[in-house]
Amino acid sequence: MQQRKLTYALLRLTLPTVVVIVAVLVLMHWRIPTRVQVEITVDRAVFTVGGADATSLLNAVGFRSLTVEKFARIALRPMTFEVADPAQYVPAEDHYLESAWTSLTVAPPVEITGEDDTLQPAVTLESASVGLEAAGRLDRIWARPGAEVTAEVRGGLRAGLTIKVERQESFAALSFREPFQLMTNYSQVTGISGVPYWTNALTYRVQLLTHSPVIEITGQPQVLVLILTMADHKAIDLFSTGGIPVTALDFTRQNPTGQPETALVHDGDLTYPDYPDVKKVSFTPPDVLGLARLQKFRIEAIALDPEHQGMRFRLQGIAGHVKTGSQAFPKDHRLTRFDTLWHNPRLMVLFGIIVWVFPTTVGGYRLYKEIKGPLV
């Protein structure tokens, strides 16, 4: 009987240690949604707007040229409207002879619509003056919750920045103080008469009314695409700095075979704002960054990065999926329950007292009594 009591006392003494070891192993493998801050430079990003109100995506910005695709209607009130003879275009100098222009009769408003969406109608606007850096100005672009936004830089910032807004009807406004050229492809123009040419692509020279120098763009019911060539390639304040709430993020693109590949163009890092002592995670191309199951997540800033021909994002929020590495072997960077204990001294002390110190002390006291008892 005495031996059995001694065995029970030893079990009570060692059991807390075993429990702690098992608990630690469980906690070390129990990953939880984690608040992260990410700095990443990519040439393509797709995100879904969250929140409860419309959010500004793009600041008002000057541009050298702008192409509109997936539009339903473009409206303007011109003071003069001229059309160019396609036969008098000089490819080597990229302009029309002055004799190419014919004045048209205008009955404002002039409206432009696409002929057939399968033909990919497009309208391009650029300065009519050689050497003028900024042709016009694009007003802010807004997106409502649920909209999917694609931002993409291709071939350097001068080659074009594409902004696509899907899953909603979108609007944009342009302003032109100087004459500009308007090039249409597979588009119908109403509000003018006297056009002597009938081709799928025509170039017009336009001067807007002084008191109404605005062009209104209405996207298709579910999509609008704008392709900008920036007026100043060094500008970094193109995107809104007010923060954009998001519910989904994707930093990949399709390669020539149709498979996803990273859009990362420069080194990035991931830190843990709630636990500054946790070592930051660094990643480099061709690593893939995966963020999903987002909660209270925001794009805090987007800036153009001319040096790396991309866009620099700063992100912060809670993610239930945080991985970097190759597509085949990504590494999970969510913190574990053990991490939250280890990096919180008060919780660690409390955990030790409840799970190990107190039970072990009680077990040790019982063992002492069992051993001491027979000698008394």
Q: DSSP letters of 241-281?
A: SS-EEEEEEE-EEE-TTS-EEE-EEEEEEEE-TT-TTSPPE
Q: DSSP letters of 295-332?
A: EEEEEEEEEEEGGGTEEEEEEEEEEEEEEEE-SSSEEE
Torsion angle, CA of 175/51/296/280, rounded to 10 degrees?
A: -10
Residue closest to 340 by CA, chosen among 355, 351, 356, 353? 351
* pLDDT for 262: 94
* pLDDT for 133: 67
**How many other C-beta atoms lie within 10 A of the C-beta of residue 359?**
18
* pLDDT for 303: 86
Q: In what helix (H) or strand (E) does residue 360 lie, and over which residues does it extend?
A: helix 358-372
Tokens of 132: 């003028």
How far, in Å, CA of 354 to CA of 306, rounded?
A: 56
* pLDDT for 269: 96
* pLDDT for 235: 55
Q: Which residues of the chain have pLDDT under 70?
A: 1-28, 130-133, 155-159, 232-237, 241, 342-376
